[in-house]
């Protein structure tokens, strides 16, 4: 599945995953989204999927009651653990967001951070079905991802028969990866997420978009 290719690419990047946030033009948007995310998840027991090196985990941990941060890559989870987050408040687990273990636990909110756009449409549906099955009704779902910014975002390399768009990325070592990458319109998000969510809301700033809803 393509999520395995995505996982391999980000495993190769390691700490360099966060280099994107060094872009000066993003500073204001990062600050705004950090405040907004902190307010949304304040007091919640949060399951974060696709935590990577823990950049956004650290943001959420400031206001959440607890956070279980999950990523498929053990090496990225190890990096996240070294950030020195509040002991007893943040825990980590290596797991596949598309195949959550039965003992994942109970949560009042789930954050999907920068994973959605790297899933094919079929994988997005599988993710949503898994969340509904494992977490149940009325859990707050927050999806945070990138907006397309001309001159900054990668261009689409191809579109497949199912309508999935793909981009080509190359590591510093010259390894080439073709990965799914989407920049969905609000209408597409509402159609896909609305199948499992209610009270759906989408907000956009230049570099990011954020969707919130409650699972049906």
Q: Find out whether 44 and 212 touch, Cβ atoms under 8 Å.
A: no
Q: What is the distance between the alpha carbons of residues 135 and 132, in angstroms, rounded to a whole number? A: 6
In this prediction, the residues of the chain whose per-residue pLDDT falls under 50 are 1
Per-residue pLDDT, 170: 87
What local confidence, expressed as pLDDT, does residue 80 receive?
Answer: 95
Quick one: pLDDT at residue 1? 46
pLDDT digits (tens, 9 = 90+) for 52-84: 999 999 999 999 999 999 999 999 999 999 998
Q: What is the pLDDT of residue 19?
A: 83
* pLDDT, position 8: 87
Per-residue pLDDT at 55: 95
Cβ(39)–Cβ(101) below 8 Å: no
**Phi, psi (5° rounding) for residue 43?**
80, -5
Calculate the alpha carbon distances from 121 to 6, 96, 116, 145, 188 in Å.
15, 17, 9, 15, 10
pLDDT of residue 31: 96
pLDDT at 5: 83
Residues 164 and 213: their CA atoms lie apart, in Å, by: 24
Predicted TM-score of the model (pTM): 0.94
- Residue 159 is encoded by which pair of tokens? 């579109």
State residue 84's pLDDT score. 84
């Amino acid at each position: 599945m393509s999520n395995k290719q995505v996982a391999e690419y980000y495993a190769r990047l390691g700490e360099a995953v966060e280099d994107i946030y060094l872009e000066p033009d993003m500073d204001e948007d990062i600050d705004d989204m950090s405040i907004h995310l902190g307010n949304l998840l304040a007091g919640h027991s949060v399951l974060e999927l696709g935590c990577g090196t823990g950049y956004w985990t650290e943001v959420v941990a400031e206001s959440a009651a607890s956070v279980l941060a999950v990523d498929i890559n053990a090496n990225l989870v190890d990096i996240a653990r070294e950030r020195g987050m509040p002991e007893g408040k943040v825990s980590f687990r290596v797991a596949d967001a598309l195949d959550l273990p039965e003992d994942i636990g109970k949560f009042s909110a789930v954050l999907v951070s920068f994973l959605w756009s790297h899933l094919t449409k079929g994988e997005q549906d599988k993710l949503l079905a898994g969340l509904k099955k494992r977490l149940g009704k009325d859990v707050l779902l927050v999806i945070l991802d990138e907006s397309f910014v001309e001159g900054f975002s990668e261009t689409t390399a191809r579109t497949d028969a199912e309508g999935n768009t793909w981009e080509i990325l190359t590591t510093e070592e010259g390894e080439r990866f073709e990965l799914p990458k989407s920049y969905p319109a609000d209408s597409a998000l509402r159609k896909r997420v609305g199948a499992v969510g209610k009270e759906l809301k989408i907000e956009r700033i230049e570099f990011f978009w954020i969707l919130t809803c409650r699972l049906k």
